[in-house]
């Protein structure tokens, strides 16, 4: 195996380790593998959430003093240069005597970036961009949040093949089958917030929780967020959510997203309805589309999206298909703006 192939294999392992970390919260999921001079694994680590040791420090902590001297650190994200509740990882690697650092993705954070430069000034060999595509895909939500100062926004809807989100009388339970609905709940649990409009709250009275197939609450729950000026009843189901709901009586969607970012939310999941969904699309604030298509026809005027600012074909909003999955009888299409 060539050295590049070996490093890529180690980076894949680091990404596997990173996936052990919590999907929600303000911090990125990061994995680290420490190699000795012959390329053998010395230690592995990953970040377990805000306030806990970062991946590099977690890996170093598994070694005795001096055991990392001369080692190579393979890490999914550029080591940070920031002192918060924990110290900078770049300094920890320098003090441990690591002589080489390889990472997948550069840290775009205003406060946390600069670790690679600090390592180089200390005489450490640094190389970035190893499996950068895989790293970018894995960290997509956190990277958008770090670069734009707002959460990564996923817009989800379920519809018939003719694009209807409900029957003509407004009923929509259930267009898709159980496999698709369970996939939605899994994705809800991986988001920091779930956003709906007051129209959806008043029409459907959703609980906005993430549940398993038996209806039991999953261990992690998104914060319920309601946007709109209409009042929400005191006995609305979402008021019994494990997290206190947030209410925003505004049409300034970017201001809402900035507020959520300040609260540590890095991924927001929009569940509707069509008016709110269309507003986010028109504002250019959607980073990912999840479209669950059921093999049925409903007709009528209950469209999944309304006006998104497309007056003519030249205004169309082209998307790139990321991937698609078969879920029971339904099809999930995952797309992103070009």
314 is in an annotated binding site: no
One domain, residues 72 and 31:
yes
Alpha-carbon distance 219 to 209, whole Å? 11
Quickly list DSSP for 25-71.
Answer: SSSPP-EEEEE-TTS-EEEEEE--STTSPPHHHHHHTTS-TTTTTT-
User: Would the annotation count 271 as a binding residue?
Assistant: yes
| Per-residue pLDDT tens listing for the chain (338 residues) | 788 899 999 999 999 999 999 888 888 999 999 999 999 999 999 999 888 899 999 999 999 999 999 999 999 999 998 877 777 899 999 999 999 999 999 999 777 789 999 999 999 999 999 999 999 999 988 999 999 999 999 999 999 999 898 888 877 778 999 999 999 999 999 999 999 999 889 988 999 999 999 999 999 999 999 999 999 999 999 999 999 999 999 999 999 999 999 999 999 999 878 899 999 999 999 999 999 999 999 988 888 888 888 888 998 899 999 999 999 999 999 999 98
Q: Are 210 and 189 in contact (CB under 8 A)?
A: yes
32 is in an annotated binding site: no
Cα gap 21→261, rounded to integer Å: 20
CA atoms of 12 and 158, how far apart (whole Å) = 33
Q: Looking at 99, 124, 145, which one is the last position of a domain?
A: 145
Count of domains observed in the chain = 2
Residues 268 and 120 in one domain: no
Tell me how far the alpha carbon of residue 113 is from its chain's centroid: 20
Q: Is 15 annotated as a binding residue?
A: no
Select from 241, 244, 245, 181 the least CA-distant residue to 217: 241
Q: What is the spatial distance between Cα 289 and Cα 281, in angstroms, rounded to a whole number?
A: 10
Q: What's the domain range around 107?
A: 3-145
Residue 171 assigned to a binding site? no
Of 127, 145, 163, which closes a domain?
Answer: 145
d(CA 64, CA 62): 7
Judgement on whether residues 184 and 300 belong to the same structural domain of the protein = yes
Same domain, 69 and 170: no
Domain boundary among 93, 115, 145: 145
| In a shared domain, residues 37 and 125 | yes
pLDDT of residue 172: 77
Vertex 91: Cα angle to 90 and 96 (nearest 5): 100
* Catalytic residue annotation: 56
Whether residues 86 and 18 share a domain: the answer is yes
Mark whether 78 and 16 lie in a shared domain. Answer: yes
Look up the CATH number of the domain holding residue 305. Answer: 3.40.430.10
Q: How many CB atoms lie within 10 A of CB 206?
A: 17
The reported pLDDT for the residue numbered 84 is: 75
Domain CATH code at residue 20: 3.40.140.10
> In terms of domains, do 164 and 136 share one?
no
How many C-beta neighbours within 10 Å does residue 142 have?
24
């Amino acid at each position: 195996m060539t050295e590049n192939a070996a490093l890529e294999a180690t980076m894949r392992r680091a990404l596997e380790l990173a996936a052990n970390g919590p999907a929600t919260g303000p911090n990125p999921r990061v994995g680290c593998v420490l190699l000795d001079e012959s390329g053998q694994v010395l230690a592995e680590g990953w970040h377990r959430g805000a306030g806990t040791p970062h991946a590099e420090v977690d890996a170093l902590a598994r070694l005795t003093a001096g055991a990392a001297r001369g080692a190579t650190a393979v890490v999914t994200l550029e080591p940070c240069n920031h002192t918060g509740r924990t110290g900078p990882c770049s300094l920890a690697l320098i003090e441990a005597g690591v002589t080489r650092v390889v990472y997948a993705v550069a840290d775009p954070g205003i406060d946390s970036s600069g670790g690679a430069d600090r390592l180089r000034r200390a005489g450490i060999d640094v190389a970035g961009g190893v499996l950068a595509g895989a790293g970018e895909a894995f960290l997509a939500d956190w990277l958008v949040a770090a670069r734009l100062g707002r959460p990564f926004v996923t817009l989800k809807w379920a519809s018939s093949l003719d694009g209807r989100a409900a029957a003509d009388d407004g009923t929509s339970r259930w267009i898709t089958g159980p496999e698709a609905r369970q996939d939605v709940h899994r994705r809800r649990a991986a988001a920091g917030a779930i956003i709906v409009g007051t129209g959806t709250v008043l029409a459907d009275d959703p609980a906005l929780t993430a549940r398993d197939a038996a209806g039991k609450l999953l261990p992690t729950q998104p914060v319920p967020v309601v946007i709109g000026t209409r009042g929400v009843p005191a006995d609305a189901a979402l008021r019994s959510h494990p997290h206190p709901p947030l209410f925003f009586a505004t049409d300034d969607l970017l201001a809402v997203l900035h507020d959520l970012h300040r609260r540590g939310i890095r991924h927001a999941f929009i569940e509707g309805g069509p008016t709110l969904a269309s507003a986010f699309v028109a504002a250019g604030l959607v980073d990912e589309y999840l479209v669950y298509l059921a093999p049925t026809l409903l007709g009528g005027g209950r469209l999944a999206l309304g006006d998104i600012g497309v007056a003519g074909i030249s205004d169309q909003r082209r998307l790139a298909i990321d991937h698609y999955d078969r879920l029971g009888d339904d099809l999930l299409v995952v797309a992103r703006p070009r």
